[in-house]
Structure 1
Amino acid sequence: MAVYSPTVATPPLAESQAQLRQQLDLLTDFWNGCSELELSIHPGPGRWSRKEILGHLIDSALNNHRRIVGACLAPPPHQLRPYDQDAWVRVADYQHLPCADLLALWTSLNTLILHLIDRLPPHLLEHEYLTLNGNPTTLHWLISDYALHLEHHVWQIIHGD
């Protein structure tokens, strides 16, 4: 997660939504051109395969869905909950799921997130969230950060870096 800074402007929500949609298209095009074997290769010891990176993005989508819904259901401040990313990927065993199923799940979750964002009342964007170290941020910033996180990992999947 990027570090929140109140002095750095959060991009407009429409920009984050466009970024999310672009990443959905980019990864779908790339993923559909790869074999199960290509997407299953571990690039090195202790590193995730492309399938596992996409699994991490599924976990991230689940957690961000919960954050957005939480802002709609309860008054602020909200507290970000940590989760052990490696453990989630290990327990879900994304490596042994069909590639098409992983892509369909990730795409569906992000389509749902975009649907939620489209319907957010503007005042909820300023709902306060406390980061893991207790610093205040907003739902708007979290959505923007989620789009950047997605972009980072989609680039990683496509370029194998």
Structure 2
Amino acid sequence: MSEQHDYDGIRYREEQRSPAVFRVLFVVLVLWGAAFIGYYLFSGWSSQAEAEADRTAREARKKGAAASPDNKAAQGKQLYAANCAACHGETAKGSVGPDLTAAAYKYGKSKTEISRSIGEGRPGGMPGFGSQLDKEQIEALAEYLLSLK
């Protein structure tokens, strides 16, 4: 018997079975997927629980950091190293950004004006960090900058 059939002038081939490797691979992937979904559903893991644990830890850090002035100064120094040192230099003497140990700043040297500069940014290359840092962190950073001489 021929493997080809002719209907309405169109030739069709009989279907051949796929190679055994592909059939085995398909079965293995289906079983793996079922096991993965089963583990996710019955293990008790939840991204909501993980997010809640992260949120409580972050709130505990905020409360602890706001408790004492020493912690606030240390927090300001850490925030400077993480967010500001790349442009203003490790010693705040200026690099790409201006010198932060100068006697006067272009936009004012009060805590409020420094906090505004950090939060909103300034034209000419200073990005705003208001979306990355909360109000307490910005204030800690401003106090640290005011302590620099």
TM-score range (shorter-chain normalised) is under 0.3
For CA contacts below 8 A with separation 6 or more, give which structure has more relative contact order. Answer: 1
| TM-score, normalised via structure 1 length | 0.25
Specify the structure having the higher radius of gyration (Cα): 2
TM-score (norm. length: structure 2): 0.27
